[in-house]
Amino acid sequence: MMSKKAVVDEERALSFFVDGKSFSVSNADPNQSLNEWMRSNCITGPKVMCEQGGCGCCTVALVKPGEKMKAIVSCLTPLCSVDGCHIITSKGIGSSREGFHEIQKRITELDLNVDTVHLDSL
């Protein structure tokens, strides 16, 4: 039996940011992953490959209020868990049009393979 509080929570819209753009999702599917939601809304930076979190191609940065930024695999992250958060995809950190992020510049300068780079070593 569902409690009254659970019913209220299901009806409340989720609010979060992706690459600086605000989103609000009403009646979010509790089984939908962040990656599925992003891809269905034309946010294509995070890719889909193994859907088990092992390959890392769906990795995004997540900033929860009052916490430090951390990397998460969006294929295993429930959409409902990002309420109030900021998500930064690979397309949100920089581009040739808007200017590259320092990490992107450093990877290019060192001619590194992104698959083998540990970001804390840059």
Q: pTM value?
A: 0.72
| CB contact at 8 A, 17 and 87 | yes
Length of the chain: 122
Q: What is the pLDDT of residues 38-65, one digit of tens each?
A: 999 999 888 888 888 888 889 999 999 9
Question: How far is the C-alpha of 77 from the C-alpha of 35, rounded, in Å?
Answer: 8
Please indicate, yes or no, if residue 63 is contained in any of the structural domains. Answer: yes
Please indicate, yes or no, if residue 110 is contained in any of the structural domains. Answer: no
70: left (phi over 0), alpha (psi -120 to 50) or beta: beta
Q: Are strands 14-18 and 86-88 parallel, antiparallel or unpaired?
A: parallel
For residue 29, how many C-alpha atoms fall within 13 Å in the half-sphere facing its CB? 7
Count of structural domains within the chain: 1
> Does residue 8 carry a pLDDT above 50?
no
pLDDT band, residue 3 (cuts 50/70/90): very low
Please indicate, yes or no, if residue 109 is contained in any of the structural domains. Answer: no
Please indicate, yes or no, if residue 19 is contained in any of the structural domains. Answer: yes
What CATH number corresponds to the domain at position 54?
Answer: 3.10.20.30
Q: What is the pLDDT of residues 22-32, one digit of tens each?
A: 999 999 999 99
- 93 alpha-carbon distance from chain centroid: 12
